Every structure is written in structure tokens, then in C-alpha cells.
Structure 1
Amino acid sequence: MECSSCEGSGVGHSIKEHAPGVFQRMQSSCRECGGTGKFINYKNCCPQCKGDAVVQERKVLEVHIEKGMQNGQKVTFPGEADEAPDLVTGDIVIVLEQEEHPKFKRKGDDLFVEHTLSLPDALCGCQFVLNHLDGRQLPVESQPGEIMRPGSCKAINDEGMPIYQRPFAKGKLYIHFNEEFPDSLSPDQVQASWNICPPKPLSELTDMEINAR
């Protein structure tokens, strides 16, 4: 019901006399309706909202996380924000925050993991099983004679993260290798190492190699 005092404008006027014959017309919120422009008869108003035209309501929103969604990606529920009379209802925006994994690191659609090899495995080839994120046992092996140097990396196609909205595509899995060196070698092991990798003659050594010895 329209406020009769301000005629629905929500604004009230008053006149203040500053001096004889000097008057000022002042404008402020209507005292009768509180600036709303409407008068509410609380005897006949809605018992739920008590004249506020707004009620509290609890609503459950289900957020569906699709495969491959990224950290910081948003899921929007249009028109689900708080409502108020004469206002356009906004949206609820859910921002995804990806939890860190203790072993795997994600960069875009690719996964990175570190694996430590013993020195014989690094020199002669290796075979091991990697426990993947989805619970699979992923066999990994190097080629015979392939030397895995410290800091080397092996890429496996289609073993990374699922690519968002491409259900049959995945990124790469990168395995970063570290070598675990023994604390010491026995004389027999030293001799076996020299047999496999004999030292260069002094005439073939560079100045840097000689100083290193």
C-alpha cells in the first residue's frame, strides 16, 4: 500500500525558518514509511516475513565436479543469490580450490612425480611399479642399456590428468629420476667398476680432469 505521507516517493519534506522571512526547504527520508514509499499495516501483514517481503530459506546446491577441472575454476548457479524486492537476483559462484597431493604435482593437464633409483638401476636399466592417482599399478621400465642420469625425466603419454570436456584425452605423466649413490664400495666393486668403465690414459685427460684427480 502506497504511503500517503510521501505519496510513494519515500522522501519527506520540511521547512525550517533560519530568520524572519528566511525559510529553507529540507528533504529527508519519509518518517512514516522509512523511505520505502510503502505503508505497511502490521496488523494485516504476512506472518512469515512480517512485512519485509523476504523470508529466510535454506537450499541445498549440488556442485558437480567434472573430470579435469582446474584449480580456481568456477561453477556458477545463476539467480541463486539472496533475493530482495525490486532488485535483480545475483548468482552464486563456487570457486574450486585444488588440494595438494604429497607425491604428485599438477601443472595444467600434466602430472609430475619423483622416483629415486639405485645406482645399478640407473646404469643398467630399471623396472618398477608406480601407484597412480586412480589406484592403478602402472609398470614403468627403461630400455636395456639406457642410462638414467641424475635429473633425467621420462614422459608417458595419456597418463596425466583428464582434459576438461575432452573425456577421452589425458595429459602426460612426467617421472623425474633421482639417483641414490652408495656410501662406499668394496675393493671388488671398485675393480668391477674399472673393468666396465676403464679410466682414460693420462695423455687423454684434460687439465680439468687431471686437477680433479
Structure 2
Amino acid sequence: MVKETRYYDILGVSPTATLSEIRKSYKKLALKYHPDKNSNDNGEKFKEISQAFEVLSDPKKRDIYDQGGEQALKEGGGGDFNFHNPFDIFDMFFGGVSRSRGPTRGRDTVHPLAVTLEELYNGSTRKLYVTRSVMCPKCGGVGGRPGCARPCETCNGTGVKVRLRQIAPGVVQQSQTICDECNGSKEFIAPKDRCSNCSGNKVVREKKLLSVEIDKGMMDNQTIRFAGEGDRVPGIEPGDIIFSLDEQPHDRFQRRKMDLIYTMFITVGEALAGFRHVIKTLDDRQLVVETKPGEIIKPNELRCIPNEGMPRYKNPFERGRLIIKFFVNFPDSLSQDKVEALRKILPFSPHDEIDPDAEYCELHPIEEYSSPTNDHQEAYMEEDTDGPQRVHCGTV
């Protein structure tokens, strides 16, 4: 007995329906409720039909659904599960593209753009040259003498290659890519007939100057898109030129979304008795940071200055926090008279009680001593058949 019947109800079949009955029902309903025939439906019914068919046509997914319902699918009972595009499923049954896709579109071109934290804080305009393909001015994008082109044999004159991928038993997903042989032009030109300027490619390379506006508050990996400025190939809709921002490390600040983190180094005396320091901001202002005498700053303590962090993208008057992390520099050693002076003004914990047979150890900098490697440890264990010998600290 199945847990839920909604998908069966959508296709109008019983929970005992065969795969043939499920496929037959899907074909009938998909044609009836296709968005090209039901402009008022907004495609929701068509989407439901496709999702129901995708589950019930796959024995593994159908078994999960029968036992646990839709929730079992969402929780990954059969592994990661996402519904495929309903139009791709429709294409498999009716041979071709299910709705008008428009002209073939060229690839987008992505350029990484290194930017400083100052540019992301203040905003910036960069003038950048990019290289792209444009129609050859000598042959007008024909590629050779008039009438020399013939349909490309690799793609059968379609300009695209079709790839099929099975997404469910009896269901194949269709995808298209631009033909590599003709670069989407759908045509082939013999070498003797090719244009001397573009070698029959119909396009040549040119440099294009773009003004890239980096807005205040933009994030690392955020993109700036120039629509339709990509390669211009005859018969192909130009793609976009995209700049992907690559935020560079800063020598004074670290960014955490809208917050800026600044590490301030102070002495023990400043931590106890107060200090006054100046922080230079990313827009060259000076912020005076001070504490009053007797206001204690602990190592790694965090304080913040509101509204001195990064500006919010598209709303630069709203800013995050400037977070200050304090690093207290301790002296390497103190003279005896300074130790005695400190004992008089600072609280000290009483000494622990010490047993007569206690062992006294000397502390060393950790970087001077490393742990034994596994090889050394194994050799040590082999030599001592009675077990590892206890290593004592030096006694006084």
C-alpha cells in the first residue's frame, strides 16, 4: 500500500499502473497542458505533470515515493534529487525543441578583475581593453567570395551539436552546444575560396575599451556584466562580457561581509593604563582610538566602532562595523626590581602547595622541541620490550 497518491492522481493512473500506462498518460496530459497552448495557466500544471512523471517512471524514485511520499524524496531517500526541466522531458517525447528558444546565443566571456579593498570601499572606475571577435570588414562576415559557402557537414547545417543524456528510464535530456567546426555559422568554406583577411572565419579580433564601474560595497566574486558585448559572429546573438571581482588581501584590514577587522598592537602598560592610537581609514581619514586610565584591555579582546565598516552595496550611507582586535605585546623578560614593583601593585595568586617528592621542570619555547616522528617512536618501542621507559623532568 502506497503512502501518498498525489503523483498518481496528477497523471490519472492507479498506484498499480504499469510504466507503459504512465508514459501514455504523460504524453496525453503534457500535450493538453503545454504552456504554448495554455497561456493563462502559467505552466504550473505542466510542471506538476512533468514532476509526477519523472518520479513514477523511475523504479527507484517510485519505490521511495510509495514508501515515504514526497517528503522522503525531499529528504534524499534516494540520494540527491532535483527535478529536471519539464521542457527537456517534453522534448524527448515529441522530438525537438518544445517551444521557441530564439536565435542561438554566443558564449559569455568572463574576465577576473583584481580589485583593492580601497576600490570596494570608495568605488572606482576602471578603463579596460578586452579583445573580442567582430565581423570581418573585408568580406562583410561572409568568409569568402559570394556563393562559396556550403552547409557544415559536422552539424548538418544547424550550427549546433545535440547531446542526449538519460535522466530516467526511457527519458532522455537533450542539450545543445555551438558546433566547433563552423563556430555556429552553419556553413563551411573551402580553403581556396576563403577571405585573405579572416581566413574564412568571417570574423577578426579587435580591442574594445570598456568603462567598468566598481560600486561602493561590492563583494568578492561579484560580477559586472556588459550585455551583448561579447563575440559578434554572423547568425549568432552576441554573448556578454563579464568581469568577476577578485578582492586582494589588504595589509591593515580584513573584510567580513560589511565589517572591517583591524588588529591593534598595544603594550602591557597601555592595556592596563590606557592608550591613544590613530587608525587610518580606507578613505584616508584618521580615527582616534583611546581608552581611559584604569580601563583594562585583555589580550584578543574585541571592540568596535559602529558605522566605520564597509558600505552596503547600492546603499552606501549604511555601513558595517570597524572591529578592533587587540593584541597585547608582553616583554620577553623583566628585571628583579620591576618584578618586585609589580608585586606591590598587582594581585598575585598564592603559591600552590608542593609535595616533598614533586618534580621541578624547566619551561622551553615550544618551537625548540618537536614531538618524535612515528619512525622514531616505532624504533623506540622495538628496542624496549618491557614497554616505553618513563621520561623524567630534571629534579632540583
TM-score normalised by L of structure 2: 0.39
Once residues 5 and 109 of structure 1 are traced to their aligned partners in structure 2, the CA distance between those partners, rounded to angstroms, is 57
Structure 1 residues 141-150 or 166-175, which shifts more?
A: 141-150
Once residues 353 and 233 of structure 2 are traced to their aligned partners in structure 1, the CA distance between those partners, rounded to angstroms, is 83
Query: How far 1:72 moved relative to its partner?
Result: 0.3
**Of 315, 328, 337, which residue of structure 2 is paired with 1:166?**
315
| Partner amino acid, structure 1, of 2:344 | N
**Equivalent residues in 2 for 1:52-71, closer than 5 Å:** 53-71=202-220
CA gap 1:197/1:206 in 2 versus in 1, 3 angstroms: farther
CA gap 1:147/1:86 in 2 versus in 1, 3 angstroms: same
Once residues 261 and 274 of structure 2 are traced to their aligned partners in structure 1, the CA distance between those partners, rounded to angstroms, is 21
Are 1:84 and 2:233 matched, yes or no? yes
**Of 161, 164, 187, which residue of structure 2 is paired with 1:36?**
187
Query: How far 1:50 moved relative to its partner?
Result: 8.0
| Partner amino acid, structure 1, of 2:187 | T
**Larger Rg belongs to:** 1
Once residues 128 and 53 of structure 1 are traced to their aligned partners in structure 2, the CA distance between those partners, rounded to angstroms, is 64
CA gap 1:2/1:197 in 2 versus in 1, 3 angstroms: same
**Of 305, 318, 326, which residue of structure 2 is paired with 1:177?**
326
| Partner amino acid, structure 1, of 2:267 | S
Q: 2:296 maps to what in 1?
A: 147
**2:283 match: secondary structure:** coil
> Between Structure 1 and Structure 2, how many residues are aligned?
179
Please tell me whether the aligned partners of residues 71 and 97 of structure 1 are also in contact (alpha carbons under 8 angstroms): yes
Query: How far 1:184 moved relative to its partner?
Result: 2.8
**1:58 match: secondary structure:** strand
Considering only aligned residues, what root-mean-square deviation do their CA atoms show, in Å?
3.6
Alignment deviations for residues 128-162 of structure 1 (CA, whole Å, 9 cap, x no partner): 11222222221101243221111111111111112
CA gap 1:199/1:46 in 2 versus in 1, 3 angstroms: closer
Query: How far 1:35 moved relative to its partner?
Result: 6.4
Once residues 132 and 10 of structure 1 are traced to their aligned partners in structure 2, the CA distance between those partners, rounded to angstroms, is 60
Alignment deviations for residues 54-104 of structure 1 (CA, whole Å, 9 cap, x no partner): 444332111011111111000000001111122121111110111111221
Once residues 4 and 114 of structure 1 are traced to their aligned partners in structure 2, the CA distance between those partners, rounded to angstroms, is 67
**1:82 match: secondary structure:** coil
CA gap 1:4/1:157 in 2 versus in 1, 3 angstroms: closer
Q: 2:259 maps to what in 1?
A: 110
Segments of structure 1 that go 5 or more residues without pairing to the other structure are 12-33, 208-213
Once residues 326 and 311 of structure 2 are traced to their aligned partners in structure 1, the CA distance between those partners, rounded to angstroms, is 24
| Partner amino acid, structure 2, of 1:179 | V
CA gap 1:4/1:55 in 2 versus in 1, 3 angstroms: closer
CA gap 1:144/1:49 in 2 versus in 1, 3 angstroms: same
Alignment deviations for residues 172-211 of structure 1 (CA, whole Å, 9 cap, x no partner): 1111111111233334432332222243567xx799xxxx
- Deviating runs (4+, > 3 A) in structure 1? 1-6, 45-57, 198-202
Query: How far 1:4 moved relative to its partner?
Result: 11
Once residues 89 and 123 of structure 1 are traced to their aligned partners in structure 2, the CA distance between those partners, rounded to angstroms, is 65
Once residues 320 and 343 of structure 2 are traced to their aligned partners in structure 1, the CA distance between those partners, rounded to angstroms, is 42
| Partner amino acid, structure 1, of 2:277 | F
Once residues 49 and 118 of structure 1 are traced to their aligned partners in structure 2, the CA distance between those partners, rounded to angstroms, is 69
Query: Whose helix proportion is higher, 1 or 2?
Result: 2
